[in-house]
Chains A and B, each alone.
Chain A
Amino acid sequence: MKPTKRIMPLLFIMPSVIAICVFVYSFISWTGFISFTKWDDVLPNYTLVGFKNYRELFANMRFQIDLRNTTIFTVIFIISCLAIGLLLAILLDQNIKHEGAFRNIFLLPMAISFVVSGVIWRWILNPGTIQMGYTGINQLFEKLGLKFLICGWYTDPKIGIIAVDIAAFWQFSGYTMALYLAGIRGVPVELREAAAIDGANKWQIFRYIIFPFLRSITFGAIIILGHISLKIFDLVMTMTGTGPGFSSDVPALFMYDTTFRGNHFAQGASIAIVLLLLVSLLIIPYLISTFRKEGA
């Protein structure tokens, strides 16, 4: 190959490489550096203190609650999105009328910003009280005679984070549906027909023909949903804030509070790094497997 032919593509790629290096990787390293310093006030203080910030962070009661919350949130979020998305995709695959319309309806929540859906769900799940009357979904339950379903939603410290989850998987189930639908449609028709001729019933076709095709999609969806839920901030911020006794608090909220309200810049940076590590636990296996495929 001529040298110019090699250089041209590199030239085109250069601006974005530089931009990413500056605006992503240099800032990550800067944050990493800050997390080892003593910057505990508005005034920057670059004295290195080793892992002190991390030790204090993991001993912090609010952060412990946050880690628990974010684990519960992520697990429920991923499982619900996958289950509901798959169910919707299977239903849509049944050659129903107006499939396009349904597809759009299910996908639409994803087009709404987290801030908007946070406010809406705050109203929907606002429990109200016995004295003042129930509001939102509790009122609906009351009218339908389903009083046993009435609960405190995000005001109940035991299930606060799960209430936020409802809003989150409402928003992202449509997305996994779209992924799965594409996956199901990607299964060659001949395979299905061949299976049908061999006498497989509908369930068996799904179980032995379609599901294996969906494995990589599921894997990709877990990565995408997982990193969304680990980094979640705006939805929780607008919907519940930190919640009673931090029952719906997440690390990103704590990071914002401690940095900009409490001036603990180093602690904020160490939370950011912990979040980055959590996300990389998800992303790195994915990247490795992708590279292997491309290499092969």
Chain B
Amino acid sequence: MNRMFKTIVVLLVVMLFASVLSGCKKAAEKQPTGPSSKVEVSSWWTAGGEAEGLNALIKIYESKYPNVEFINATVAGGAGTNAKAVFKTRMLGGNPPDAFQVHAGHELIDTWVVPGGYVQPLTDLYKSEGWINSMPKGILDIVSYKGDYWSVPVNIHRSNVLWYNKAVFTKYGITPPSNWDQFFDVCDKLKAKGIVPFVMGTKEGWEAAHVFESVLLGKLGANDYDGLWTGKIKWSDPRVTDALKTFAKIASYVNTDHSALTWDEAGQYLLKGEGAMMIMGDWTNGWFMSVGFKDYGWAPSPNTKGVFLALSDSFALPIGCKDQENAVNWLKVLGSKEGQHDFNKAKGSIPARTDVDISDYNDYLKSAAKDWQEDTIAPSVVHGAAACEGWATEYKDIMNLFISKLDVSFTQNALITAAEKYLK
């Protein structure tokens, strides 16, 4: 018995050493030797206009830096959730890509900047490339923390857009509503005609939360809406109650199968003229183009004229990236006029810079670019700009529950509790 035990112990020790040694060898091989000729960029742009936009950027990069091999580390699915899961594992494991996609704002700052030691400040790059002057203050505020800039925004999307089917509106002599009273008048009129007044798809769990951020913005205004996420305005505010009640009322005009549909599947109602209005981000514009639908109109969602609820995809630079110089060059391409122009044309969004020539963009994008320069900019919560990921996730969960239960006081309490948890 004793001998057997000894033999086992000896064997175990030998195996342990062997594995440690082989591990060391591998680690040694991984050390970069001399100037590298690669750049690895992680993102979740794998399909449609997003992938085309990314390819346009890669093309510019490769023509400028032909000796650098571009490694396109994309992960599909889950509106970025899957990519973020992979990325977090790599980051915590000390093997980050050279640059990574992240929503500009708190998603980046609370997750990676505040703990320290994960991403590099880009203030020098902003200065040398002149981005401080070419981007509006609203977006610079969103990407900055404690006086430094932390990521390069490639595009801007607007969250608070009301899309409508022009043919339906013309047929019944309706003009786009600019406040909630008009909105509900229009809804009643359309409902009487057998048309679904307001179209929504809530299958993926974030869409209801998306609509509600526009409702909140409409009820509180840009300043106080922002205050909800910074703690200046309490969630127990009666205007939040009002917003919830309004949202519950909207829900009574929504297509009954909303929980089976994604936002674009629900958009089919609009396309076919069976539905009239929908509040969704302006990627809807790109989607309309891709399905060949032209008869659509747009307006800011009720009560939000003059406010641009913005979200932005941006790229940040991890500390300890293997190819620093190549990665910085990638960021330069992202922030360049040429890069912003080509990317956003393909993706169907607008450049974060205000000095890009967009005369070849379509009508919606031109009007959005104009608003981008003139409007007050407020951060979107569902898309990572206004609050940290934990809070944004909880907010989404709460609204997902609300849309099926429509319980105003329960939901407001849940929102208050969530805010208390994350604002401390």
> Which A positions have Cβ atoms within 8 angstroms of B?
3, 6-7, 10-11, 14, 18, 40-44, 61-62, 126-129, 131-132, 152-155, 157, 240-247, 256-264
Apart from A14-B11, A256-B85, list 12 A-B contacts with CB within 8 A: A14-B12, A40-B390, A42-B92, A131-B269, A131-B274, A132-B274, A152-B256, A152-B260, A155-B259, A244-B259, A246-B397, A260-B88
Cα–Cα, bound, A242→B209 (Å) = 14
Q: Residue of A at shortest CB range from B401?
A: A245
Is the Cβ of A260 less than 8 Å from the Cβ of B390? no
Is the Cβ of A3 less than 8 Å from the Cβ of B3? yes
- Point out the residues of chain B lying under 8 angstroms from A263, CB to CB: 88, 111, 388-390
Across the interface, A247 reaches (CB within 8 A) one of B88, B388, B404, namely B404
Is the Cβ of A261 less than 8 Å from the Cβ of B255? no
Q: With an 8 A cutoff between CB atoms, is B137 at the interface?
A: no
B interface residue count range (under 10 / 10 to 19 / 20 to 34 / 35 or more): 35 or more
Cα–Cα, bound, A48→B85 (Å) = 25
Q: Which of A7, A40, A261 has the largest number of chain B CB atoms within 10 A?
A: A261
Report if A61-B403 is in contact (Cβ < 8 Å); known contacts: A42-B111, A155-B257, A260-B85. Answer: no
Is the Cβ of B15 less than 8 Å from the Cβ of A154? no
- Point out the residues of chain A lying under 8 angstroms from B84, CB to CB: 260-261
- Point out the residues of chain B lying under 8 angstroms from A6, CB to CB: 4
Is the Cβ of A62 less than 8 Å from the Cβ of B4? no
Across the interface, A242 reaches (CB within 8 A) one of B81, B196, B205, B256, namely B205
Is the Cβ of A155 less than 8 Å from the Cβ of B260? yes
Main secondary structure of the interface of B (DSSP, over half): helix
- Point out the residues of chain B lying under 8 angstroms from A129, CB to CB: 255-257
Q: With an 8 A cutoff between CB atoms, is B202 at the interface?
A: yes
Q: With an 8 A cutoff between CB atoms, is B91 at the interface?
A: yes
> Which B positions have Cβ atoms within 8 angstroms of A?
3-4, 7-8, 11-12, 15, 81, 84-85, 88, 91-92, 111-112, 115, 118, 194, 196, 202-205, 255-260, 268-269, 272, 274, 388-390, 393-394, 397, 400-401, 403-405, 414
Across the interface, B4 reaches (CB within 8 A) one of A3, A40, A131, namely A3
Q: Residue of A at shortest CB range from B204?
A: A241
Cα–Cα, bound, A194→B269 (Å) = 68
Report if A10-B4 is in contact (Cβ < 8 Å); known contacts: A242-B400, A261-B84. Answer: yes
A-B contacts, 29 of them at CB < 8 A, read A6-B4, A11-B11, A14-B8, A14-B11, A18-B15, A41-B390, A42-B88, A44-B92, A61-B414, A62-B401, A127-B260, A128-B257, A131-B255, A132-B268, A152-B256, A154-B260, A157-B404, A241-B204, A244-B202, A244-B400, A244-B404, A246-B400, A247-B404, A257-B397, A260-B88, A261-B81, A262-B394, A263-B88, A263-B389
Q: Which of A157, A244, A259 has the largest number of chain B CB atoms within 10 A?
A: A244
Report if A126-B260 is in contact (Cβ < 8 Å); known contacts: A244-B404, A261-B84. Answer: yes
Is the Cβ of A245 less than 8 Å from the Cβ of B403? yes
Is the Cβ of A257 less than 8 Å from the Cβ of B404? no
- Point out the residues of chain A lying under 8 angstroms from B258, CB to CB: 155, 244
CB distance from A265 to the nearest CB of B (A): 9
Cα–Cα, bound, A50→B400 (Å) = 31
Cα–Cα, bound, A110→B203 (Å) = 27
- Point out the residues of chain A lying under 8 angstroms from B389, CB to CB: 261-263
- Point out the residues of chain A lying under 8 angstroms from B11, CB to CB: 11, 14
CB distance from A114 to the nearest CB of B (A): 16
CB distance from A144 to the nearest CB of B (A): 21
CB distance from B76 to the nearest CB of A (A): 13
Cα–Cα, bound, A229→B257 (Å) = 27
Report if A243-B15 is in contact (Cβ < 8 Å); known contacts: A41-B115, A42-B112. Answer: no
Cα–Cα, bound, A260→B272 (Å) = 37
CB distance from B327 to the nearest CB of A (A): 20
- Point out the residues of chain A lying under 8 angstroms from B268, CB to CB: 132
